[in-house]
Amino acid sequence: MDEIARTTETLSPLIVDVDGTLLRTELLHEAVATLLFRKPWLVPLLPLWLLGGKVALKRRLNDSIELEVDVLPVNEPLVRWLEGEKARGRKIYLVSPPMRRSCVGWRRASA
């Protein structure tokens, strides 16, 4: 087995929190801002959605809007480092469970 194959096999996957780590903000804030500008008629529903808790609010937002991942405020130095790690063969997982669709969109944009 060559050195590169051995190194790739021993690299542990990276699990990256989207909120406040990959992004300089939180997906919840970005989702609310997007809702305000793209679907303002849904804004009065925000307090009702929040009655179900923060996770329920995030899920409702996730179902109601689609974030444009290419315009989100990302942590550029971290993104460059992650790209380097990905090039080395390391698996990278983005974590933000209630905003899953947003992370899937991000994965497509960075593929």
What pLDDT score was predicted for residue 68? 84
Radius of gyration of the chain (CA): 17
**Can you list the alpha helix ranges (DSSP code H) found in the chain?**
3-10, 27-38, 46-50, 54-64, 76-87, 100-110
CA angle 24, 98, 13 (to 5 degrees): 70
Pick the more confident residue, 42 or 6: 42
Longest Cα–Cα distance of the chain, Å, equals 61
Give the closest residue to 98 by CA, choosing from 50, 70, 57.
Answer: 57
**Higher-confidence position of 47 and 105:** 47
20-64, pLDDT tens digit by residue? 899 999 888 999 999 999 999 999 999 999 999 988 998 899 899
Amino acid at 31: A
- pLDDT surpassing 60 at residue 86: yes
Comparison of pLDDT for 107 and 26, the residue scoring more:
26
* Higher-scoring residue by pLDDT: 37, 67: 37
Q: What is the pLDDT of residue 71?
A: 87
Rounded CA gap, 66 and 107, in Å?
Answer: 14
In angstroms, the CA 87 to CA 83 distance is 6
Confidence of residue 1 (pLDDT cuts 50, 70, 90): very low
Residue 104's identity, in one-letter code, is V
**Most confident segment among 9-13, 20-24, 46-50, 89-93:** 46-50
